[in-house]
Amino acid sequence: MDRLTEQKTGTTSLTGATTDSDTRIVRIKSEDLLQQQRELEIDHHGRIYRLRLTQLNKLILTA
């Protein structure tokens, strides 16, 4: 299965894509990241960010 097909079908929760410069990009499904929660906190170098799922099923990241 090629990369494009894998990304379209979502057959894996983590998939590697490459850009023009061959830099690998990891794709994580939001469902896997949120784990059935509507909100999570991300610690980035000591600063806390909040990722929230809205009522319209969109993601908001705030510091």
pLDDT tens digits, one per residue of 23-59: 899 999 999 999 999 999 999 999 999 999 999 999 9
Residue 38 exposure: Cα atoms within 13 Å on the Cβ side: 5
| pTM summary value | 0.62
CB 62 within 8 A of CB 48: no
**Which pair of tokens denotes residue 40?**
């999570």
Predicted pLDDT of residue 6: 43
Predicted pLDDT of residue 1: 39
Query: What are phi and psi for residue 36, nearest 5 degrees?
Result: 65, 20
11 pLDDT more than 60:
no
